[in-house]
Amino acid sequence: MDEVTAETGAATGGVKILLRLEGLTLFAGMVMLYASWDGSWLVFALLFFVPDLSFLAYLADAKFGALVYNAAHSYMAPVTLLTLGFGFASPLTLSIALIWLAHIGIDRALGYGLKYSAGFGFTHLGRIGRQSGA
C-alpha cells in the first residue's frame, strides 16, 4: 500500500504531509482570526491546552481514551461552536471555538492525529512516541 499502512490505517507519504500542512494552515488561520478579533491572549493561553485534558480518559482504558480524545480533537464541536458564535453574536463562544480549532490545528501539524483504540501512539497520521521509529 502506498498511502496507507496496512497495519494501522495511518496516512503516509504525500497524504500525510498534506494533512499536517492542513493542520498548520488551520492553526495559523485561527490565530490570525483571533488576533483580528482582538481576543484576550491571556484567555488564549489559559484555554489552548484544555482539549489535552482528554488524555485523562486513557486512565480508564485505551478504547475509552481514544473515544474521548477524538471527541475533543475532531472539528465537529468547535465548528458547531463557531457557527453558533457567529449566529448568536457571542464573543465568548467565538473565542473558545477559535482557540479550540487552533489547538487541533497545531496538534495535527505536529503529527498528533486522531487515535485508534490500539493505544495512544496509534493515530491516523502514523505512530507517535518512542515506538514510532521516528
pTM tops 0.75: yes
DSSP element (H, E) containing 123: strand 119-123
Query: pLDDT for 71-116, tens place per residue?
Result: 999 999 999 999 999 999 999 999 999 999 999 999 999 999 899 9
Query: pLDDT for 48-64, tens place per residue?
Result: 999 999 999 999 999 99
